């Protein structure tokens, strides 16, 4: 019996979705295996199986991971965090606001996991001296790290994946700071929610300082500062500012006839940091999140298979059919946000975005609207992993140090997810109109 390429693609995608959610095998292995299987089945050509590794977005990921890693190896992130925490004092609310703001700012241009790991010991020590349970500050820290990544293109992998999906489908992409139009409101809402409501839902007891610090040390890993050399901190800070500045002005720079891309700017920054000794070559390699690299590289051929085989159109037609003859793009955006937000509570935000972005574009095309609002909703929702301790690494990092239980995340994080849903469904279509 002959099976159509579209059916084969959907079967492979369904199996991959199961493995993404359960993580019975590593995420990167699932993604790469899916691409290989589609090649073996003839759905895509053999020379397309590994094209994801040649995608320039992979270079952008790797270079930004290196730059972010330098912030922690040189002690710059810890230095900034310590100064801000000291300036905020030892009262619970000002400390929570200060921690939230600095964490979001750092996460917008570097690893949210590294930011969270670097600031944890500082916050635990301050909480101990002020007599505040660490549990009252660590979950807000994790949530701010997740929300802050939504502010820039390079703040979190789903943003880059959404942009790449638009580019692959020949649509205009988002600008570097364009994400801030919704990322800043999302971050603001998260911090205000934690101050006004969330903190009252957190446990009032906590581990002892010694136990909390021990748990924090167990998770810091490569985020621990290897040096506190002021010269290296300055070099890292200036390099980061320079890279972000060039990325933000990518359009005007190209109009001047200078061939500078986001990937080139990030790579130049990473090279400078290695050459100046801000981190070693081996530290640069270890700073790269290879799971994200290979997961993205594996999903690119899968997205190609969905497009070329017609599987994406089949899914789009089915979803559109379920929504009636004249489906509302507003309802579509709201539904895809919910799907992405639910998936990201139990699986990697990178995997959630990689799985849904090609579908979102297919569905938007199916109803004849611009896909930008849909893609933005999927990407932002993928970063709203607030309701479980396994949704995102920062949540897992603070689990032991804060003495939290699973239901603490549900009780505090679920209302925040719903609140962000309301904010995004209201604002995103206004910022990126469907027509």
Listed in sequence order, the residues at least 6 apart from 169 whose beta carbon sits closer than 8 Å to its beta carbon are 307, 358, 361, 371
Give 189-216 pLDDT, tens digit per residue: 999 999 999 999 998 765 555 555 555 5
User: Is a pLDDT exceeding 50 seen at residue 170?
Assistant: yes
Listed in sequence order, the residues at least 6 apart from 188 whose beta carbon sits closer than 8 Å to its beta carbon are none
Q: Are 18 and 34 in contact (CB under 8 A)?
A: no
Encoded tokens for 294? 């290979």
Q: Which domain holds residue 110?
A: 5-431
| Number of other residues whose CB lies within 10 A of the CB of residue 434 | 18
Give 29-66 pLDDT, tens digit per residue: 888 999 999 999 999 999 989 988 888 878 887 888 88
Please give the model's pTM, rounded to 2 decimal places.
0.77
Give 323-362 pLDDT, tens digit per residue: 776 778 999 899 999 988 988 887 778 878 888 898 899 8
- pLDDT for 222 equals 44
Q: Are 72 and 222 in contact (CB under 8 A)?
A: yes
Listed in sequence order, the residues at least 6 apart from 383 whose beta carbon sits closer than 8 Å to its beta carbon are 146, 147, 149, 150, 156, 158, 186, 344, 349, 392
Left if phi > 0, otherwise alpha if psi is -120 to 50, otherwise beta: which for 324? left
- Structural domain count of the chain: 1
Which residue from 189, 248, 234, 214 is spatially nearest to 80, judged by alpha carbons?
A: 234
Give 94-151 pLDDT, tens digit per residue: 999 999 999 999 899 887 877 887 788 788 878 877 788 888 999 999 999 999 999 9
Q: Are 401 and 212 in contact (CB under 8 A)?
A: yes
């Amino acid at each position: 019996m002959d099976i159509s390429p579209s059916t084969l693609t959907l079967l492979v995608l369904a199996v991959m979705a199961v493995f993404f959610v359960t993580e019975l095998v590593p995420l990167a292995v699932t993604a790469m295996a899916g691409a290989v299987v589609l090649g073996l089945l003839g759905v895509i050509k053999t020379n397309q199986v590994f094209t994801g590794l040649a995608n320039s977005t992979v270079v952008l990921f790797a270079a930004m991971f290196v730059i972010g890693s330098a912030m922690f190896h040189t002690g710059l992130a810890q230095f900034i965090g310590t100064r801000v925490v000291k300036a905020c004092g030892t009262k619970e609310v000002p400390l929570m606001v200060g921690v939230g703001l600095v964490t979001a700012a750092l996460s917008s241009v570097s690893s949210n996991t590294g930011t969270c790991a670097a600031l944890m010991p500082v916050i635990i020590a301050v909480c101990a001296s002020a007599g505040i349970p660490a549990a009252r500050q660590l979950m807000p820290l994790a949530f701010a790290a997740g929300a802050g990544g939504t502010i820039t293109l390079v703040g979190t992998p789903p943003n880059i994946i959404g942009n790449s999906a638009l580019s692959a489908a020949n649509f205009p992409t988002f600008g570097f700071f364009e994400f801030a139009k919704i990322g800043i409101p999302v971050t603001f809402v998260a911090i205000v929610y934690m101050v006004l409501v969330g903190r009252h839902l957190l446990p009032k007891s906590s581990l002892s300082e010694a136990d909390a610090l021990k748990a924090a040390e167990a998770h810091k890993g490569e985020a621990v500062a290897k040096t506190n050399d002021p010269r290296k901190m300055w070099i890292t800070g200036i390099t980061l500012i320079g890279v972000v500045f060039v990325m933000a002005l990518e359009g005007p720079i190209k109009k001047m006839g200078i061939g500078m891309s986001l990937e080139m700017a990030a790579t130049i920054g990473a090279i400078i940091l290695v050459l100046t000794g801000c981190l070693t070559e081996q530290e640069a390699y270890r700073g790269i999140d290879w799971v994200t690299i290979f997961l993205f590289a594996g999903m690119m051929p899968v997205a190609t298979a969905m497009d070329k085989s017609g599987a994406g159109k089949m899914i789009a037609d089915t979803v559109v059919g379920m929504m009636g003859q004249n489906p509302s793009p507003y309802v579509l955006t709201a539904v895809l946000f919910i799907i992405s937000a639910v998936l990201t509570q139990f699986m990697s935000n990178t995997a959630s975005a990689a799985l849904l972005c090609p579908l979102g574009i297919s569905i938007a095309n199916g109803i004849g609207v611009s896909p930008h609002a849909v893609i933005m909703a999927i990407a932002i929702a993928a970063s709203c992993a607030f309701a479980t301790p396994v949704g995102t690494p920062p949540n897992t990092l603070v689990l032991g140090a804060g003495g939290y239980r699973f239901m603490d995340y549900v009780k505090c994080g679920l209302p925040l997810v719903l609140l962000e849903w309301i904010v995004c469904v209201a604002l995103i279509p206004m910022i990126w109109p469907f027509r």
